[in-house]
């Protein structure tokens, strides 16, 4: 049994990022001036980049946890 499961929260993060991308696409269809461009460059794009980087880090950390669990050979309850 896994001590720590990061797969479920990672899925939630991926769904939230997808929803943001979809919602922003809808907004961009109606709001296409320089303020929208500035907002996208200052807030939306960096956020999506950071979410992507965080997801990659979480996936790597999940692999480290799985390896540690295998090496320890312990069956523990999740925390």
78 confidence band (pLDDT: 50, 70, 90): low
Burial 58-70 (b: 16+ CB within 10 A, else e): eeeebeeeeeebe
Per-residue pLDDT, 73: 82
| Cβ 1 vs Cβ 77: under 8 Å | yes
What is the token pair recorded at 49?
A: 């980049």
How far is 64 from 23, CA to CA, in rounded Å?
34
Q: Model confidence over 7-52: pLDDT tens digits?
A: 899 999 999 999 999 999 999 999 999 999 999 999 999 999 999 9
Helix (H) or strand (E) holding 55: helix 45-72
């Amino acid at each position: 049994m896994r001590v720590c499961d990061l797969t479920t929260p990672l899925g939630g993060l991926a769904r939230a990022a997808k929803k943001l991308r979809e919602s922003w696409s809808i907004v961009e269809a109606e709001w296409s001036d320089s303020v929208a461009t500035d907002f996208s460059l200052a807030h939306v794009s960096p956020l999506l980049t950071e979410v992507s980087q965080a997801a990659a880090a979480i996936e790597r950390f999940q692999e480290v946890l799985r390896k540690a669990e295998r090496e320890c050979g312990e069956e523990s309850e999740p925390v």
